[in-house]
Structure 1
Amino acid sequence: MIDWDDVRFFLAVARGGSVRAAAGHLGVNHSTVLRRIAQLEERLGAHMFEKLPSGFRLTEAGGEILELAHQMEASSHQIEARVLGRDQGVRGLLRVTLAPILATRLLMPDLADFARLHPDIEMEILSSGELANLTNRQADVAIRVVYDRSTLPLNLHGMKGPELFSGVYMSRARLAAWRTGARDPVRWIVISIHGIPEWAGEGEVRATGVPFRTTDAEAQLVAARNGLGMTTLPCFVGDADLLLARVPGTVLHMQGALWILTQGETRKTKRVRLFTESVFRRLEAYSALLAGQSILRD
């Protein structure tokens, strides 16, 4: 009989393309991965991978069992989710994935309130640039900005929250200096992987310097507050910051709606239901802020 754990290691190597990548993903050492692959090959009587200078490549036999391995993985996740769905207690782990700026600049007080209200729920907030995967059970709940619901996997269940808008902002001090004719250049401040959005435009203030690039939203915000130039920010960030002002002549842009997403039987657990209902209420309360309507800006 094939050991599912051996298949997990096989999938990790197939996806990562190397033993090192698989070991990092699974949180084990290099030798453990090699031992598990060897066990699987011995049971099946065939080599699963070909070792190349660039990494590990599936052999013909490995390619043949790859789809079956994916099916085993999906079945394993379904079993876990079904058992979890029967758990109606509020004690246990609750993993929530969301963008860092949503966590730090909007929802953290509400997440803290929920944790205090339910002290037996062990919360894990996964606020990194790459959102965790619900289907693979990396998280129980995802809070995501979704422009088109049809782009989401069919197995995800969601509660649609308010729409999220962004605008163009610069520091009040820098805007005041521009109005008095200051000659130092105004730069676009951009996150490197995104660049300047097509919708942003420059309004009444024209960019005259080379772009200033950052790799994360927090650095982007701090650069704008320090007067380097103008940048696009979610309205809930830009409007709430007393050091920033909207750039005159620019428009708001709808990024999508905030969705609270769960997967399969997971949504039926009591702690997940309590959390999703609580966050949905808080997002509804923030709807004007998210739409850029809560504060009259100059």
Structure 2
Amino acid sequence: MLTLSAVTKRYATGDLALNDIHLSLPRGQVMALIGPSGAGKSTLIRCVNRLVEPSGGSIHLEDTELTGLSSGRLRQARRAMAMIFQEYALVDRLTVMENVLSGRLGYVGFWRSFLRRYPKTDVIEAFRLLERVGLGHALDKRADALSGGQRQRVGIARALLQDPRLLLVDEPTASLDPKTSRQIMRLIRELCAERDLAAIINIHDVSLARQFADRIVGLRGGEIVFDGKPGELNAEILTTIYGEEDWSNEEGEEDADDAMQVTPAPALAMGGGR
């Protein structure tokens, strides 16, 4: 579905952020990107939707080569790639519903969005998605009145209203407490399964990556140093990705996370952790 071939990114400063990246992501697979700060994780995600322009190589989404598109055709192609941001990227003065409906901006155009003139089918789907992410009761709340977990749920609903084939997720749990982090990752995983969506998730938390991803790709210095299943991520590989450290407790931490996993229920749907 998504194929990156020899993708490189060198900034004007001369810094090489990505070096000869080759990746293929099939439909329905949830891939976690892990690695130290500055490894190139966010750059890789942003190269896919060309928020950052690659310096070399090619990126294909199904039959479309994204790296060769004009600005007009790129806007159309981005409909198929929804982004979930670390800092949520919500408009604080707008309501939850208005923020979610902005996911249709690529379809309805600026002025219809500005005047809040969305097709009835979009509004119905927005209602349905907000119920699905546990915010059906908060439609008219302003975004700045929400907790961090609630804001991330709004971002997820907005992304899905875009009707994408690929989710690009940048540090979805960075500002959340551990319980809410697991709830958000579980929600993303469940929604990808329900909709047969592929996802690339940039995440620092190795335990969450192991628990919720189908595949883990480790970056270091802009290069792929690991690509495999979560169960293959041992202490030796973690040292390759992050450097020398005592990783002996990592397996125990993962087991503890599994033991603490809670089955989703309406009472937990809100999420916390501002």
Instruction: Calculate the TM-score normalised by the size of structure 1.
Output: 0.21
Choose between structure 1 and 2 for higher RCO, CA contacts under 8 A separated by at least 6 residues.
Answer: 2
Rg bigger for which structure? Answer: 1
Instruction: Calculate the TM-score normalised by the size of structure 2.
Output: 0.22
